[in-house]
Structure 1
């Protein structure tokens, strides 16, 4: 994004702020008169607002989040855009985006967010200490993110048990977190490695693609745009990354690739 795009987003945030302030001022006098004439009105309005906010939260999910010094902009799954001018990046301000009145619409094309004014921004792009935009909906509560997180951290926990843990193939077959294709590919890779070298086999862990692992586990770093590939990084070892591929089979997300298993060479993490 160049300086003109940053300026454009800043203007949008400023306009949102001005409109909200005007609406707030225009309602102040009438609101005070209503409260004076009926003490129960304030309570009822508060309850109505809570109901509306709950409904909006249930119907709209935050899909992409833009954050910068000028505030936050939320891109929702219903195609609407809402802004929070001068808002810091924290949970409360992100949540407040759900109750902001949408000011524009957008669409997604080839990894770009395109607004009604045809202004575009690349998903998962950022500049140091200036701004960033992330695919927010997939970072925490998305089913495929949860599944991949359970798989990679469950496998790591078993691996850290050393001789007391299950073998690689045994652990994968002991749960229902992965596809039949993944289990078959993993078995083939390991068996072929031991055929070539009966003593050492592959020489490294094919799922975590290495020998030394982050002891405190992995956390989701990002989901690659327009794909089912997820990148995890070590909680206490940021440079150690593992790629996971998920697949939806019969309305259930399963791991279909991880490390070097069923991951194309060009997508594998360079160590």
Structure 2
């Protein structure tokens, strides 16, 4: 039995701070100084200045006895001085996640497995399917399944239900795990930076439907997958992660699909993990990813 010793202070909370702002001298010094004033001990720090956009990006992990209110108060003058966009969170906090699916199971199974057994820092609070094919998988993992069918005539109502679920379940991240529906421009704008998609191709090549058939017709030697944030432009949102596998002329379309599904699941898993760990910052149409 573990006994409580009041003479031993509780472990400090580890926080993660991410920020972006116009690049200029003194940012790192100001941030580090503000954290040090509250007894913060920086355990990890990464930064990047983008000469193309003129923006500076930073991710800091810091151990501190201070609570959120104290840290936010310490950082407030720095945020105002440098016109920062910023976020402060507890390291390892599981992000409330809604997964959207159609009929392909591999990405959903992989995410739920990683959440349960490999410390993926997400909390899947629901699975939404426009078909019922994957309801049994959601049930197996103890996840509520919501059947929201989509047709040309019911698309608006279906997106209305998605909005309701996002609000009711306090969703922070929406993952399109081979969800074969296109979200409206309005919904993409409202959830900007919160929706992650997996595209079964190495973008920008082979957009839209049947990319493996397109790749086969072109005789490609590499096939890949791309995970990106969703925008109103089909398959053109800021890219988070990509991966590839080498193939040759002997592979049939069915072979490419099987190989591709393996690439898809691991590419999506990395993108979701990095997003949940606050390692991905938006830089216009691009991303900065701190590994």
TM-score (norm 1): 0.29
More helix by share: 1
More strand by share: 2
Pick 1 or 2: higher relative contact order, CA cutoff 8 A, min separation 6. 2
TM-score (norm 2): 0.28
